[in-house]
Chain A
């Protein structure tokens, strides 16, 4: 094997898979990937945790005894007990219910912002790879500009400009995440666009849109899926970071970052508060990362694991 063909590029490896599939049509790409994923125990664990979190967040009212905003000022700073499994905060609010409800915020922000970034980034990536020309040049420069900002700083600046509410958080995180989606999709799409079957389709007279949707795009899916989990993990952390700095959701809506920040201020009185809040973030991000790793390996035939 010539070292020059064995590159690190996910793109190349994915194309390898694509070719593999074309030569062995009896086993679909999806089935191949799924079987690989299932064998990865850690990834499955991540998936299970994630599903549990989603269920917990959706069923929040059923799972919690107290309202997340109900104050009980005679019971402030209670350590974890049978009454309050995670203790109470400075207003006497039950931390367990606050953290469960905060999960809703994080998951919603994650899903929507990544959805937006993914959609936007994919469109940009596909069109710039396929059509090239001045559009590609312009868009690539724009993505470069966005890339040159530290992502947290860019999110902060956008939030400051738009105002503090949860919709703007989603927009800000969405914007910050878009360039990486665009880059990933573009790189993959460029590889595919040069391939034989695309030329063949063009020769047969298929419309550009059809080619993009039916041929180029599906091949971009594997790295796109992996990128989605990575971006989701980042979105959860980013939302927490913004709330931590006071720029995220509005009080008294709970958000893991906000609970962490509030807990940090009263660490001398309630050390359990920041611990639990951060733990929630960590577990969520961990499961996403682990799932993302598993997906990356499952969709890539030449992994060195």
Chain B
């Protein structure tokens, strides 16, 4: 099956890579202990079953007879090795932070893995089902130093070749442990950065599957009888954030005023062509059990904004620089709309698109910004969404927000185990954030793939993974 993807794949190491395109390929070749279904439920994969013996001890029983592509059977030693490799702080994995709660890992026998935590950590299962936490064979890593160019996993497809800027090919694994699957003989990933190219290629039939269809083409493609659009609401969202380290953004009323000045519906209509959903409360998406529909910013309210500014002492307005990422048209569009809305409030905005490499430095290293726009994707556990963004020590807390009550809630929510226990905490967190407005959310994107009509068995995954390729076949 020919798949047109947006960006070229650079590295292939499942533990070191962070980019979306690399993950697309990685998840065909490697597997994780657990798996998400299209309904966003966690089910076993490489782990045949699991048992939470107590909040600090998780025991996994592995599937037997699973072989790596080099023929060797997967054992608990591989699981231990893989997880240790991820959580090694010097290992270079961008996900090492996520497993800091793991104290040690035991392998009492070849098919049993016991994970001991230093403190209760509810998101653990969610991470073990997410891309990037795959099981790799130790000897291959040691032989090559890393897996950036070599791919040896347990997955339904095996690596064939990678030609930069041209294609990456994987083929069917005949010894795959789930009998019968995969159905496809192979997958060819073709990078096509131009939106128009991907759309055109699926329409003309040059590819069977086009990923990341831009919002503006969705309505155009909907009418095409040879193509199906699969997709729905995704976790991708754009938002505006303030640098709380400097006035006037250390003043909560100023931030609230700006948050009230945004017309989120209009933004969804204009920037996303209606294919998205405005975020009016917190950013945890409707698919999650932690979703809160408090509907705080239900509409644009310029009067309220003006009033808040007056109360804050900025009735005469001020001028501010709004930075956004130059490669992202949606961010630039949003910036222009925000500039228009803030103008009558007396706030003069200068829009500065910044090239990506500089932008990252500005946002995460030098904190050289006043207001900025960025997009983010979430994994599936709410902790992953909010902890690092709102906690005082959070890794991604670029806006320097600090609220002891929120810290307390975040820490507690991670240690509780059941969804019922955690949900009210996350609701409160999101409502506090909405009110205090260190960030102002715009919308969630709907994300669509265009699939030829003869592609069957494919199911869109809301978390943007493509693991359902193993269930896909071509009916032609």
Contact = CB atoms under 8 A, between A and B. Distances in A.
Interface of A: 69-71, 73, 76, 90-91, 160, 164, 246, 250-252, 265-266, 268-269
Nearest to A264: B196
B270 A251 contact: no
A73 B269 contact: yes
Contacts of A71: 336-337, 340
Contacts of A160: 355
Interface string B262-300: 000010011000000000000000000000000000000
B40 interface: no
Contact of B353 (A164, A265, A269): A164
B370 to A, nearest CB: 15
A235 B39 CA distance: 56
Contacts of A91: 270, 333, 336-337
Contacts of A246: 326, 353
Given A91-B270, A91-B337, A252 B220 contact: no
Given A73-B270, A76-B270, A269 B216 contact: yes
B48 interface: no
Contacts of A250: 350-353
Interface of B: 216-217, 220, 266, 269-270, 326, 329, 332-333, 335-337, 339-340, 350-353, 355
18 contacts: A69-B339, A71-B340, A91-B270, A91-B336, A160-B355, A164-B353, A246-B353, A250-B352, A251-B335, A251-B336, A251-B351, A251-B353, A252-B336, A265-B216, A266-B216, A268-B216, A268-B220, A269-B216
A252 B339 contact: yes
A69 B340 contact: yes
Contact of A265 (B329, B335, B337, B340): B329
Contacts of B269: 73
B324 to A, nearest CB: 9
A70 B343 CA distance: 10
In the A-B complex, the 6 residue pairs with the smallest Cβ-Cβ separation, listed nearest first, are: A252-B336, A73-B266, A71-B340, A73-B270, A251-B351, A251-B336
B278 to A, nearest CB: 14
Given A90-B333, A252-B339, 4 more contacts: A71-B340, A90-B270, A265-B216, A265-B329
A216 B272 CA distance: 62
A95 to B, nearest CB: 15
A31 B329 CA distance: 54
Contacts of A70: 340
A258 to B, nearest CB: 10
Contacts of B339: 69, 252
Contacts of A90: 270, 333
Contacts of B336: 69, 71, 91, 251-252
Nearest to B216: A266
Nearest to A252: B336
B341 to A, nearest CB: 9
Contacts of A268: 216-217, 220
Nearest to B269: A73
A90 B330 CA distance: 12
A253 to B, nearest CB: 9
A76 B271 CA distance: 11
Contact of B351 (A76, A252, A269): A252
A246 B332 CA distance: 11
B171 to A, nearest CB: 37
A251 B336 CA distance: 7
A160 B356 CA distance: 12
A261 to B, nearest CB: 10
A164 B355 CA distance: 9
Nearest to B343: A69
Contacts of B353: 164, 246, 250-251
A265 B350 CA distance: 23
A129 B329 CA distance: 49
A265 B332 CA distance: 14
Contacts of A252: 336, 339-340, 351
Contacts of A251: 332, 335-336, 351, 353
A70 B269 CA distance: 17
A71 B342 CA distance: 13
Contacts of A164: 326, 352-353
Contacts of A269: 216
Nearest to A269: B216
A91 B352 CA distance: 19
Nearest to A266: B216
A268 B220 CA distance: 9
A298 to B, nearest CB: 45
A191 B223 CA distance: 69
Nearest to B329: A265
Contacts of B352: 164, 250
A76 B216 CA distance: 13
A144 B353 CA distance: 34
Looking at A70, A91, A160, the one whose CB has the most chain B CB atoms below 10 A away is A91
Nearest to B220: A268
A175 to B, nearest CB: 20
B133 to A, nearest CB: 37
Contacts of A69: 336, 339-340
A91 B341 CA distance: 13
Nearest to A69: B340
Nearest to B270: A73
A269 B329 CA distance: 17
